[in-house]
Amino acid sequence: MDLSVREVLSRITTIPDMVRAFQNESHCRRLLEAMVWPNGRVCPACGYRHSIALMVRENGKRARTGLYQCSNGTCRFQFTVTTRTPLHATKLPLRVWLSGLWLMLQSDKGISSIRLAEALGVSQPTAWRMGHALRLMVGREQALDGVVEIDGLYIGGKPRREKNYSPPGRGRKGQPKS
Ligand SMILES: [Zn+2]
């Protein structure tokens, strides 16, 4: 799948389209992985670029869990696509995140947390946190490689950087923690 998340989102024009596109959690996971790791998986703990996908057996078949383990011998951190990202805090299904992102990108003037809560069927505090986290995610993507240009997205000021957050693939490449 070589489509960027932006391309996928831009092809969704109606709510039923959206429901169809995001019904499958593992598909949502792949989309999000493409967004978070545009240049390949990066360990969020040490920045190492090699990791293995941890598998489970499901109906006799090996299936991905979305959980990865860093291959850096001194790290071995286990992570998913949302670990140490703004999306981690609420532990919502990925389809809810992607639907929220789509709704945000649909409206030129941003979307209120009240609207977001109604549309996604989540509580308003949850919607508020989601909006904040999504703006951070989008802002981060912009900061990384300018892939996303969305006007009017930053309602209520610029996204804040999280204190302990360092973008994947920046600065620590090739310097495994020792
Ligand atoms: Zn690591």
Q: Is residue 12 part of a domain?
A: yes
Residue 176 has pLDDT above 70, yes or no: no
Closest CA relative to residue 103, chosen from 114, 93, 91, 92: 114
101 plus 153 within the same structural domain: yes
Distance (Å) from CA 29 to ligand 1 centroid: 20
C-alpha of residue 44 to centroid of ligand 1, in Å: 7
Domain total for the chain?
2
Q: Go through 138-176 and write b for each residue having 16 or more CB atoms within 10 A of its CB, e for each that does not.
A: bbbbeeeeeebebeebeeeeebeeeeeeeebbeebeeeb
Same domain assignment for residues 69 and 92: no
Shared domain check, 99 and 145: yes
Q: How is residue 5 written in tokens?
A: 């998340």
- Domain that residue 110 falls in: 1-37+82-160
Do 99 and 143 reside in the same domain of the chain? yes
Q: Which of the given ranges, 12-16, 56-60, 69-73, 92-96, has the highest pLDDT on average?
A: 69-73
Could you tell me the pTM of the whole model? 0.67
Identity of residue 67: L
**Residue 11 covered by a domain:** yes
Same domain, 2 and 72: no
24 in the same domain as 86: yes
User: In the predicted model, is pLDDT for residue 145 greater than 60?
Assistant: no
Among 9-13, 53-57, 77-81, 99-103, the range with the most confident prediction by mean pLDDT is 77-81
Q: Which two tokens stand for residue 121?
A: 């069927």
Q: What tens digit of pLDDT does each residue of 92-102 get?
A: 888 898 898 88
Whether 65 contacts 96, CB under 8 Å: no
For residue range 126-144, what is the model confidence (pLDDT) as tens digits? Answer: 998 888 888 887 776 655 4
pLDDT in tens, 62-116: 878 889 999 999 999 999 998 988 787 667 888 898 898 888 887 777 788 899 8
- CA 67 to ligand 1 centroid distance, Å: 13
Residue 174 lies in a domain: no
Q: Are 143 and 89 in the same domain?
A: yes
CA–centroid distance, residue 74 to ligand 1 (Å): 8
Q: How many CB atoms lie within 10 A of CB 75?
A: 18
Are 123 and 152 members of one domain? yes
Kindly state whether residues 20 and 99 are assigned to the same domain. yes
**Mind giving me the DSSP string for 141-157?**
HHHHH-----TT--TTS
Quote the CA–CA distance of 136 and 36 in Å, as a whole number: 12
User: What CA–CA distance (Å, rounded) separates 130 from 113?
Assistant: 8
Q: Are residues 4 and 66 in the same domain?
A: no
